[in-house]
């Protein structure tokens, strides 16, 4: 770690101890599920997924799979298929249904003890948003006539210019010209965003997945350096506001940044996604290497989060999301590896996020649309969507067939999610290192004052020997095989021991 970063972390940790109240008291740590609404479940036969379709699939989500929360990718009116460029923050996309459909989904989800997070995209709007088209609201965005010496019109991000010409002026848009960035130095913008959060929280939404959180004060906007501190300061203000409306509100940020910057955002929001973890897990399975070394690095990162973001920080582990190649392809569509990969993040502390279709081994890579193809329910399923053809999933076994097969990936997911729900130490316990005595068997200890568990995950396609401390540890859960006395672990097996 850079010395500068280390000093910054120490300073932040000290500041946190001295002045900050808990950002979020989040004991709840069930598994969440990310849904691309267009691709998930269709209620009215037009082939386009919608909110009522999700409501109709709540039994699958809550009972079959056992997830406790949903993250709905953007549900707002938008000119794009994906919705990350919003034109109205207080409405539902007509493709997806009505406000009544949203209310119904919230009620039905809550009746099953599930929470629902909306995807709030406030770094930028659509260029079709009325604010961007309103000459009175020019200072809601970043405009320049090119005379300001602090602005570099040549500035590029991801290979394209961030300043875009319109008339005789330029406006700032970090992702593409159709997504102009909002100006968070404008108090009216800040207030509007807090009002929008209030609107949804009062409707019954349980919180937000927050898009592009590190770009609020982004590169090129305030000089040449991305100002993560200024972005974090805004998110601290936003978090305090959301918690004042609903003290149980859950926020999780997309900060696809180096660890120290992620941790700063995590301090402000209480939770951020654990980018890179999925890639590490895939590499460990595919390329070999020591599980102990991997765990050591993971524990060091979790420790850093605790130091910077505080003891109530909630990690959000995941394998891949809607912006990344699906994990099944990276694992060569190997069901054994898929099971082990699932265990490697579903049995960690925090709030894990499953990307829809991951539990049945859906594949997809390359253009974003290919990572967001129709959930495969089965040919006979009335809620099957068809918004896009997929060249990737012609051989993927759909939900209805996997449900009949206890050896399927879907059964492994429901088993692992069920184990997490059944053992309090897996949900809310701390994590410490434990040596399995075998570099190809990942192992760690999860414990609360009342319960101590040892998790073993076999990263190999062959049975492996493991070391269990002594006979006071009993095998209490296994993805397959007998329980009771210690024994070798099955190929890509998952075994959990509990101390008597
Ligand atoms: Ca529909």
Six token digits for residue 144: 């320049």
Which run of H or E residues covers position 342? helix 335-346
Q: For 118-132, give the DSSP string.
A: EEE--SB--TTSHHH
What pLDDT score does 158 carry? 83
Q: How far apart are CA 484 and CA 500, in angstroms?
A: 12
Q: Which of 254, 315, 370, 460 is catalytic?
A: 254
What pLDDT score does 480 carry? 86
- CB-CB contact of 35 with 88 (8 Å): no
Compute the distance from residue 34 Cα to the ligand 1 centre, in Å: 18
Q: Which of 211, 260, 261, 495 is catalytic?
A: 211
Of the CA atoms within 13 Å of residue 455, those in its CB half-sphere come to 31
Compute the distance from residue 471 Cα to the ligand 1 centre, in Å: 56
Six token digits for residue 436: 């399995």
Six token digits for residue 444: 């760690």
- Measured CA distances, 264 to 13, 15, 299, 341, 424 (Å): 10, 12, 18, 28, 29
- The β-bridge partners of 442 are 457
What pLDDT score does 157 carry? 83
CB atoms closer than 10 angstroms to residue 439:
16
User: With the CA atoms of 419, 330, 212 and 249 taken in that order, what torsion angle do they form, in degrees rounded to the nearest 10?
Assistant: -10
What pLDDT score does 70 carry? 98
Compute the distance from residue 381 Cα to the ligand 1 centre, in Å: 14
Q: How far apart are CA 451 and CA 467, in angstroms?
A: 20
Nearest-Å Rg of the Cα atoms of the chain is 23
Compute the distance from residue 47 Cα to the ligand 1 centre, in Å: 6
- Report helix angle 228-245 to 259-269, nearest 10: 30
Q: Which residue has the tokens 């993560």?
A: 228
What pLDDT score does 223 carry? 53
Q: How far apart are CA 316 and CA 71, in angstroms?
A: 12
Compute the distance from residue 110 Cα to the ligand 1 centre, in Å: 23
Compute the distance from residue 48 Cα to the ligand 1 centre, in Å: 4
- CB-CB contact of 125 with 182 (8 Å): yes
What pLDDT score does 5 carry? 47
- CB-CB contact of 51 with 37 (8 Å): yes
Residue 254 known to be catalytic? yes
Compute the distance from residue 45 Cα to the ligand 1 centre, in Å: 6
Compute the distance from residue 388 Cα to the ligand 1 centre, in Å: 13
- Measured CA distances, 192 to 71, 199, 289 (Å): 23, 10, 50
- CB-CB contact of 441 with 464 (8 Å): yes
Which run of H or E residues covers position 20? none
What pLDDT score does 4 carry? 47
Compute the distance from residue 335 Cα to the ligand 1 centre, in Å: 31
Residue 312 known to be catalytic? no
Task: Quote the strand ranges of 193-306, DSSP E.
Answer: 207-210, 250-253, 271-273
- CB-CB contact of 308 with 9 (8 Å): yes
CB-count burial class (<10 Å; 0-12, 13-18, 19+) for 158: exposed
Compute the distance from residue 96 Cα to the ligand 1 centre, in Å: 7
Compute the distance from residue 329 Cα to the ligand 1 centre, in Å: 28
Q: Give the mean pLDDT per block of 10 residues along the chain (500 residues).
A: 46 42 52 98 98 98 97 98 98 98 98 97 98 96 88 84 93 94 95 98 98 84 70 97 97 93 95 97 97 98 94 96 97 97 98 98 96 96 94 94 97 97 95 97 97 98 97 95 90 97
What pLDDT score does 219 carry? 60
What pLDDT score does 152 carry? 84
> CA geometry: angle at 383 spanning 59 and 391, to 5°?
115
């Amino acid at each position: 770690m850079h010395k500068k970063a280390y000093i910054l972390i120490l300073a932040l940790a000290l500041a946190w101890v001295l002045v900050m109240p808990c950002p979020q008291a989040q004991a709840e740590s069930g598994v969440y599920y990310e849904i691309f609404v267009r691709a998930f479940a269709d209620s009215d036969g037009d082939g386009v997924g919608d909110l009522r379709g999700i409501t109709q699939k709540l039994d699958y989500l809550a009972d079959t799979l056992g997830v406790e929360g949903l993250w709905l990718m953007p549900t707002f009116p938008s000119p794009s298929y994906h919705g990350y460029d919003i034109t109205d923050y207080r409405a539902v996309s007509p493709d997806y249904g009505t406000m009544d459909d949203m209310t119904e989904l919230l009620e039905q989800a809550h009746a099953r003890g599930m929470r629902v997070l909306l995807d709030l995209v406030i770094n930028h709007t659509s260029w079709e948003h009325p604010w961007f088209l309103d000459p009175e609201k020019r200072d809601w965005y970043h405009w320049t006539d090119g005379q300001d010496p602090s602005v570099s019109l040549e500035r590029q991000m991801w290979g394209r210019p961030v300043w875009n010409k319109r008339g005789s002026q330029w406006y700032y848009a970090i992702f593409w010209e159709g997504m102009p960035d909002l100006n968070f130095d404008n108090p009216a913008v800040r207030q509007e965003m807090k009002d929008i959060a209030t609107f949804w929280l009062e409707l019954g939404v349980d919180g937000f997945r927050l898009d592009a959180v590190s770009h609020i004060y982004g590169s090129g906007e305030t000089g040449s350096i991305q100002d993560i501190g200024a972005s974090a300061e805004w998110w601290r203000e936003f978090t305090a506001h959301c918690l004042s409306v609903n003290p149980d509100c859950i926020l999780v940020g997309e900060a696809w940044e180096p660890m120290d910057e992620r941790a700063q955002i995590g301090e402000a929001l209480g939770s951020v996604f654990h980018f890179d973890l999925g890639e590490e897990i895939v590499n460990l399975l595919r390329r070999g290497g020591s599980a102990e070394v991997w765990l050591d690095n993971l524990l060091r990162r979790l420790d850093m989060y605790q130091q910077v973001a505080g003891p109530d920080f909630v990690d959000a582990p995941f394998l891949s999301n809607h912006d990344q190649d699906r994990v099944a392809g990276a694992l060569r569509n190997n069901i054994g590896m898929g099971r082990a990969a699932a265990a490697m993040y579903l049995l960690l502390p925090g709030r894990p996020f499953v990307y829809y279709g991951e539990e049945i081994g859906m594949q997809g890579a390359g253009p974003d649309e290919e990572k967001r193809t129709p959930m495969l329910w089965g040919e006979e399923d009335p809620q099957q969507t068809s918004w896009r053809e997929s060249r990737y999933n012609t051989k993927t076994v759909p939900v209805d067939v996997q449900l009949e097969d206890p050896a399927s990936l879907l059964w492994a997911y429901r088993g692992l999610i069920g184990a997490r729900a059944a053992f309090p130490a897996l949900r809310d316990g701390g994590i410490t290192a434990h040596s399995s005595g075998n570099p190809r068997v990942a192992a760690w200890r999860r414990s609360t004052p009342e319960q101590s568990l040892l998790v073993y995950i076999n990263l190999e396609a062959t049975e492996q020997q493991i070391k269990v401390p002594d006979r006071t540890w009993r095998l209490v859960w296994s993805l397959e095989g007998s329980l009771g006395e210690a024994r070798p672990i099955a190929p890509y097996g998952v075994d959990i021991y509990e101390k008597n």
